[in-house]
Structure 1
Amino acid sequence: MAAENTVSSSFKVAIVTGGSRGLGRNTVLNLARRGVHSIFTYHANRAEADKVVAAAQQAGARATALQLDTGKIASFDAFVEAVRMALTDLGTERFAFLVNNAGTSHHNAFDKTSEAELDALYNVHFKGVYFLTQKLLPLLKDGGRIVNVSSGLTRVAFPGSSAYASMKGAVEVLTRYLAKELGPRGIAVNTVAPGAIATDFSGGMVRDNPEVNKRVAEATALGRVGQPDDIGPMVASLLSDDNRWVNAQRIEVAGGMII
């Protein structure tokens, strides 16, 4: 049996932010199908979080839901202590994988975006990712893996997305720096950039607006919009030993959108 502080142990735990819905939920469930237990965060909807816990159990793994606003950095110390207790409850001291997924949408023209809007995006999408990762590092196993979720909007510019996409661009730069600085611990860090996905993100715009859905499908080489189950399995696979040599990469998962 390998040492507890490495990921070669068969017992693995992932931390997934924003795991109660959308891509985070799908990631938790796909990890569960691979036997990976999860500690995931939810912002406000405990009922939905409880459904994910039950679904993960049905899929073959344990999941623990912890409330967290990833834009409130002052709450991170208390969250880390909650993670320590959750890990103890799972029978381990360290986790293997971190998926920084939690986020909020934003659509506003550059010349109309306010300082308050930009600050809110910064706190959740960059500052929160930066400092939550930093706070959790002592609990991350050597040889572990981090996935930061970005967006196809860092490659393709859509009017109204300048603030959101800029924060995701910052996360992509951070990913490369983390890969370099955490390399001595054997920790691989990558970015996954989904394209337009049919979830409740942005008010369900891609999922529920037929016109938007049609435009996205027509702009995608594979001829349809993305679904959550196009992303969760990919993230779970990226975290597996099969992809242990993938590091410091931005991987767009968009079905060939706008190529």
Structure 2
Amino acid sequence: METLKGKTAVVTGSSRSIGRGIAERLAARGALVAVHYATNATAAQDVVEAIGKAGGRAFAFGTELGHEGDAERFWAEFDVQRRAFSDDGDTGVDILVNNAAVALRDHFQDATVADFDRMVAVNIRAPFFIVQHALDRLRDGGRVINISSAVTRLGLPEVIAYGATKGALDSFSRILAKELGSRGITVNVVAPGYVDTDSNADWLRHDKDAWEETAAKSVFGRVGEPEDIGDAVAFLASDAGRWITGQHIDASGGTRM
């Protein structure tokens, strides 16, 4: 299964939940994984240690996204920690997964400028400039995989601003696929649906009725797991995904089909 051996992957927001699932799957397939976190260094180190115990290779680096100059700081810190991990001097990247996001629940009439601006800054501005600042280090034949959301097609009023930022990410990804195609770099979107994550714990894990109702929205009758998304990303990151680009991959388990 070491289909990514010799590759370096960067996964934003991978200290927990879906990001962790992606990081662990990429590492299991042989990639060296850079586990990015915003503020929780301990959680990121837990991921690194779990990957190591499973026979993989990973290191952590931290940068809080959503602020002026975040992309520059992101890659500067990546370089520091990559060189600390190995003195081979290689700071190139083969796989870049933009997973970090802020999902604030605001109905249209209650949405605030502060919430809107925060989600725009993290969910679309940060990925845009992280990729831009990675152009010189992203190797030809590489992969950019942006994590969107099924909310862009479900039309949920309580996440209208969040959905708008993910819709922007979808559009950015399609255009970026044309921009980078001449270098053999694929750009795709993976859109999860309802997934059992830390952020959903309060209303999902501890409420049997909510769990059963959510599970019923998928044609498989279950709630998604971070590993489900990790496997979809790992496929696109592998050589098997070389002829797929500019696509929106629904990874929602057939939610509300």
Q: Give the match for residue 209 of structure 1.
A: 207
Q: Which moved more, 1:247-256 or 1:89-98?
A: 89-98
1:137 aligns with 2:132: no
1:156-183 CA-partner distances (Å, limit 9, x unpaired): 1112111000000000000001100011
Q: Give the match for residue 218 of structure 2.
A: 220
* SS of 2:133 mapped into structure 1: helix
Give the residue type in structure 2 aligned to 1:33: A
Distance 1:76 1:219 in 2: 37
**Offset at 1:202?**
4.5
**Offset at 1:100?**
0.1
1:208-256 CA-partner distances (Å, limit 9, x unpaired): 3333222111121100111112111221121000111111000011111
Please give the TM-score of this superposition, normalised by the length of structure 1. 0.92
Aligned with residue 51 of structure 1, among 46, 55, 66: 46
Give the residue type in structure 1 aligned to 2:99: N
Give the residue type in structure 2 aligned to 1:122: V
**Offset at 1:57?**
1.0
1:1-55 CA-partner distances (Å, limit 9, x unpaired): xxxxxxx995111000001000111111111111101112111111111111111
Aligned with residue 239 of structure 1, among 230, 237, 240: 237
8 Å Cα contact 2:63/2:73 also seen in 1 = no
* SS of 1:138 mapped into structure 2: coil
Q: Give the match for residue 157 of structure 1.
A: 155
Give the residue type in structure 2 aligned to 1:199: T
1:65-97 CA-partner distances (Å, limit 9, x unpaired): 111112124132232122223344443231100
Aligned with residue 227 of structure 2, among 211, 226, 229: 229
Q: Give the match for residue 68 of structure 1.
A: 63
* SS of 2:142 mapped into structure 1: strand
Relative to 1, partners in 2 of residues 1:239 and 1:185: Cα closer, same or farther, differing over 3 Å?
A: same
* SS of 2:246 mapped into structure 1: coil
Distance 1:119 1:146 in 2: 24
Q: Give the match for residue 180 of structure 1.
A: 178
Distance 1:242 1:119 in 2: 38
Distance 2:37 2:149 in 1: 20
1:250 aligns with 2:245: no
Q: Which moved more, 1:22-31 or 1:74-83?
A: 74-83
**Offset at 1:60?**
2.2
* SS of 1:141 mapped into structure 2: strand
**Offset at 1:193?**
0.1
Q: Give the match for residue 24 of structure 1.
A: 19
Q: Which moved more, 1:209-218 or 1:188-197?
A: 209-218
* SS of 2:146 mapped into structure 1: strand
**Offset at 1:203?**
5.3
Q: Give the match for residue 166 of structure 1.
A: 164
| Structure 2: segments with no counterpart, 5+ residues | none
| Structure 1: segments with no counterpart, 5+ residues | 1-7
8 Å Cα contact 2:147/2:190 also seen in 1 = yes
**Offset at 1:200?**
1.1
Distance 2:48 2:146 in 1: 22
**Offset at 1:135?**
1.0
Aligned with residue 198 of structure 1, among 189, 196, 199: 196
1:90-144 CA-partner distances (Å, limit 9, x unpaired): 4323110000000122111101101111000000001111111111221110110
8 Å Cα contact 1:196/1:254 also seen in 2 = yes
Distance 1:36 1:65 in 2: 14
Q: Which moved more, 1:144-153 or 1:61-70?
A: 61-70
Distance 1:140 1:229 in 2: 25
Give the residue type in structure 2 aligned to 1:186: G
* SS of 2:35 mapped into structure 1: strand
Please give the TM-score of this superposition, normalised by the length of structure 2. 0.93
Count of aligned positions: 252
